[in-house]
Amino acid sequence: MAERRIRQLGDPVLRQVSTPVQDPDLTAAVLQDLRDTLHEFRRTHGFGRGISAVQIGITERIIYMEIDGLSYSLINPVFEYMSDERFALWDDCFSFPDLLVWLERSENVCIRYTGEQGSDQVLAATGPLSELIQHEMDHLDGVLAIDRALDKNSLCTRDEWQRRHASRRPAAFPRSVAVRD
């Protein structure tokens, strides 16, 4: 398989609601393309943890993530639970890699999904994994991080974020992570 072009902010496909996977036999190829695309983005940009199929133009409910040394292939994921406890963070996205968005996410989530081998799975997540799942699930529903900005001052270019916030990050944003996708 191969790395694919990541759709950028303004591409109407990013606003489409993804449909459930109908042919599980085709998901292995999509997941491989997502892996290859994630790895290439990480190689060229220095960050990246997850990608949804819609970001490469496939409007099916498929997500691939790599975080904390583990990989996750989520097919037809559905939220079972989202906590009321929330945390704020600077979020970014492969589809607009030079823009960061100050937003809030639920601290804990639980999802049900089909795994790469076709078995039903449940995943409970907290903190960074919870945030990443929410970010990627938003993509499947045509929602972008910019839609979740807390206010009109919640957008920042990566260069400006580096100037204003990077040196203060541990003290100013103990629960936040500056680089997300």
- To the query of whether residue 80 is one of the catalytic residues in this protein, the response is no
* CATH T-level fold of 12-172: Peptide Deformylase (3.90.45)
Mean pLDDT of the chain, nearest integer: 91
- For the chain, which residues make up each domain, given as ranges? 12-172
pLDDT digits (tens, 9 = 90+) for 39-98: 999 999 999 999 999 999 999 999 999 999 999 999 999 999 999 999 999 999 999 999
**pLDDT tens, position by position, 18-46:** 999 988 888 999 999 999 999 999 999 99
Given the residues 66, 104, 136, 160, the one annotated as active site: 136
Supply the pTM of this predicted model.
Answer: 0.91
- The reported pLDDT for the residue numbered 176 is 38
Q: Which long-range contacts (CB under 8 A, 24 or more apart) does 152-161 make?
A: 153/102, 154/101, 154/102, 154/103, 155/99, 155/100, 155/101, 155/102, 156/90, 156/99, 156/100, 156/101, 156/102, 157/98, 157/99, 157/100, 158/92, 158/97, 158/98, 158/99, 158/100, 159/98, 161/90, 161/100
